[in-house]
């Protein structure tokens, strides 16, 4: 079962990163996706508490890849920071794109708060949290 959940984890991670490429992604959408990723991660933890060893070599490789990703999380982290940066740049460079520029900055601020919470809630990202403080 953990092998399936590991696959789901990486599928959800790719979905989040693709969503971060869309500058119209809202804080609510981002929160929902991260919550789904956390749920999958929790399921993996439960799976590993119920099995003694990976059942196949492929399963072991996926487990190693998962552990490396969960401990580094650099891909998600850098995409979250780029998302904030790009949203802010777009609002500053293309103000005519928005009917209400002030409301866009409120939305960007909501995203910044969500990203800060994501980074602060992840043990692997605590050392990088100071990067986002510039926003």
Helix crossing, 57-72 with 2-20: angle to 10°?
Answer: 40
pLDDT band at residue 80 under the 50/70/90 scheme: confident
What's the rounded mean pLDDT across residues 65-72? 75
**Against a cut of 0.85, is the pTM above it?**
no
pLDDT band at residue 53 under the 50/70/90 scheme: confident
Residue 2 · residue 48 · CB < 8 Å: yes
Q: Could you tell me the two tokens for 10?
A: 């990486």
> CA 116 to CA 125: how far, in whole Å?
10
Residues 89-110 pLDDT 10s: 777 776 666 666 666 677 777 8
What's the rounded mean pLDDT across residues 30-52? 84
Per-residue confidence (pLDDT) for residue 126, from 0 to 100: 47
Q: Which of 50, 106, 118 is nearest to 78 (CA)?
A: 118
As a dihedral over the C-alpha atoms of residue 130, residue 135, residue 113, residue 99, rounded to 10 degrees, the angle is -170
Whether the per-residue pLDDT at 36 is higher than 50: the answer is yes
What's the rounded mean pLDDT across residues 9-15? 91
Look over the chain and give the mean of its residue pLDDT values, rounded to a whole number. Answer: 76
Residue 44 · residue 66 · CB < 8 Å: yes
């Amino acid at each position: 079962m953990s092998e399936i959940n590991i696959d789901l984890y990486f599928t959800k991670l790719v979905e989040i990163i693709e969503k971060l490429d869309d500058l119209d992604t809202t804080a609510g959408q981002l929160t929902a996706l991260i919550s789904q990723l956390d749920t999958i991660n929790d399921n993996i933890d439960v799976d590993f508490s119920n099995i003694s060893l990976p059942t196949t070599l492929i399963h072991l490789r996926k487990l190693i890849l998962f552990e490396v990703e969960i401990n580094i999380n650099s891909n998600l982290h850098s995409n979250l920071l780029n998302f904030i940066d790009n949203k802010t740049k777009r609002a500053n460079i293309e103000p005519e794109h928005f009917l209400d520029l002030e409301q866009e900055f409120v939305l960007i601020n909501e995203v910044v708060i969500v990203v800060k919470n994501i980074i602060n809630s992840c043990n692997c990202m605590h050392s990088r949290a100071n990067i986002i403080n510039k926003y």
